[in-house]
Amino acid sequence: MALNQTLSVQRLDDPAPDSPIIEISHLQKVFAQRKKAPLEAVTDFSLDVRRGEVLGLIGPSGCGKTTILRMVAGLDSPSSGSIVVDGKEVTGPGPERAMVFQDFALLPWQSALENVVFGMAATKLSREERVARARAELARVGLSGFEDHLPKALSGGMKQRVGLARALAVNPTVLLLDEPFGALDAQTKTLLQDDMSATLQEEGCTTLLVTHDMSEAVYLCDRIVVLTNRPARISQAFSIDIPRPRGERFRSTPEFTELVDQVWQELKAHVTLSNSQAVVEG
């Protein structure tokens, strides 16, 4: 398959995608800093995300990727602009949006099962229903038999699977992934990417993935949005016209290598060593 058949550059003035479920309009985020000038993390950021689409946000360290994701989650508020999810403006967290964090964010005193049950606290399900769903989701991510284990007894990959099970248990419309595999070793990361690819296809939920990993973005996403240095703006958007899930053999194809290189060529113009000292998330 030729590269020009698999990767297309999306013009920033293209019409909005059909049936967007996430509509981000002129988003800005400014952080107050003690004894320093305010820090603008995101500026004039507009993006529509299709229903069922897996969209990757990739950019330099500290450019504001995680800040954007947290605003979509309702964990941070925009300084200006708006975020609309499924027709409703985001004013705080909601059950239709679930987030998986890089640092696992598990309750250390609770078992794997109870961590997933806790994630459904805001639902109207009974205790028995929550426990049954938690067991089912843990089984789906390969953790049957580990329901009673505390996080300290689980590997990094297993902890992240608990986090994914917790997110999926609420049956979210939108799944937000903040570098979910960034803290894992290469082998575990590859295996979980394969699992995630299959899960996203099965669930069909709209997904926003923040990542520093170009290979991960190409493997998992329908579209990749490259961000500039802080304050974050869209530099370029790429559409990947290859059906998901793509299978592990895709990683060894010339098309995969070329796709990763295309993204890198756009990204590297915004990457500087000074980004490592950035004070803003993602």
CATH class of 1-96+176-250+262-273: alpha beta
- 225-249 tens-digit pLDDT: 999 998 999 999 999 999 888 888 9
Range among 78-87, 201-210, 273-282 rated most confident:
78-87
Kindly list the distances between the CA atom of residue 45 and the CA atoms of 13, 83, 136, 171, 212, in Å, as whole numbers in the listed order: 13, 10, 38, 28, 19
Question: What SS3 state is found at 49?
Answer: strand
Give the whole-angstrom CA distance, residue 240 versus residue 19.
19
Q: What is the predicted pLDDT for the residue at 11?
A: 45
- 208-226 tens-digit pLDDT: 999 999 999 999 999 999 9
Residue ranges per domain, the chain? 1-96+176-250+262-273, 106-171
Question: What SS3 state is found at 232?
Answer: strand
Closest to 280 in 3D by CA, of 24, 76, 48, 83: 76
pLDDT class for 187, splitting at 50, 70, 90? confident
Kindly list the distances between the CA atom of residue 40 and the CA atoms of 44, 78, 109, 216, in Å, as whole numbers in the listed order: 11, 11, 37, 28
Q: Is the predicted pLDDT of residue 54 greater than 60, yes or no?
A: yes
Report the greatest alpha carbon distance in the chain. 55
What integer best gives the mean pLDDT of the chain? 87
Q: What are phi and psi of 98, to 5 degrees?
A: -125, 145
Mean pLDDT of 58-80: 93
Q: What is the predicted pLDDT for the residue at 156?
A: 87
